[in-house]
Amino acid sequence: MVSTGKLRRLVIKEEMRKAADVAEEASNSRTFEIIARAGYAVSGLLHVLIGVIALQLAFGRTGEADVSGAVASLASQPAGPILLWACFGACAALALWQLGNAILGERTSNKKLTKRLSAAGQAIVFAGLAATIVSFVMGQGKNSRESSTDFTAKLMSAPFGVFLLVAIGVGIAVTGIFFAVRGFRQTFKRDISQSSEEAVRKFQVGVGVVGYVAKGIALFLVGLLVVIAAVRAQPEQSTGLDGGLKALREQPYGPYLLAAVAVGLIAYGLFLMVKAKTLRT
């Protein structure tokens, strides 16, 4: 005779299996996939806007060259609220789609495990992007430079906070190096279906190489600033992407370097738009 506790566990297990089946069916839905892919296009649009703002900074104008600045730019358009809701929906769908890939993906090899971890990372990134967008929809959008400084200050005051901050900064910087290497080695080509037309294929590869290298440089700068803020115990030094790009502008030949990175970020945005259409699944 089956005990009450065992019966309860069997029921819970069966309900979890049904939930997993529903989630898998939803993730395999063509409509859901199209909406999720649009999340890459949204990210691409935001990177293009960040690149444009960074280019303006290189020529002496003002602006916030980060996700918050890009989202604020969208919000200021005549159809701003509608645009932001559409962007939120696409990013949230992509986050759920990648979460499904991370949970339900194959587990039979190291390669599959790497893909699952990558999907989990992307789920976190796009969930954060969706949260940023919806905060502006609700009128609670915050300058990401201030957010980075506040987060750094809070973490720095916690036990072992400095060591954790250094680890985070190093992690971001290493991610930047990974992006740059991925661009130079063109390994991103595995993720997309390349066009049979030579001109289109060259465009796909070109924006990928330039975009990944520029994104890598930007991430490396952000990570470096986090490490500097932790080591010097100066949270105001951790200023996110906007602070990293503005710090680059202050270096010798800084405006030219910033302009180059800005063009690269625009290229990365274009690549993400290409990825939205040609992503291999």
pLDDT in tens, 80-93: 888 999 999 999 99
Categorize the per-residue pLDDT at 19 as very low, low, confident or very high, splitting at 50, 70 and 90.
Answer: very low
Q: Please state, in angstroms and rounded to a whole number, the distance separating the CA atoms of residues 203 and 261.
A: 18
User: What does the pLDDT look like over 120-138, one tens digit per residue?
Assistant: 888 898 998 998 888 888 8
User: What does the pLDDT look like over 207-231, one tens digit per residue?
Assistant: 999 999 999 999 998 888 888 877 7
Query: What is the predicted pLDDT for the residue at 25?
Result: 54
Q: Please state, in angstroms and rounded to a whole number, the distance separating the CA atoms of residues 22 and 42.
A: 27
* Higher pLDDT among residues 1 and 49, named by residue: 49
* Higher pLDDT among residues 216 and 160, named by residue: 216
User: Does the pLDDT at position 9 exceed 70?
Assistant: no
- Listed by start position, the domains of the chain span 19-278
What is the enclosing helix (H) or strand (E) of 98?
helix 80-104
Compute the chain's Rg from CA coordinates. 21
Query: What is the predicted pLDDT for the residue at 191?
Result: 84
Tell me the whole-structure pTM to 2 decimals.
Answer: 0.81
Q: Please state, in angstroms and rounded to a whole number, the distance separating the CA atoms of residues 196 and 187.
A: 18
For residue 275, the tally of other CB atoms under 10 A from its CB is 21
Q: Is the dihedral of CA 272, 125, 87, 136 positive or negative?
A: negative
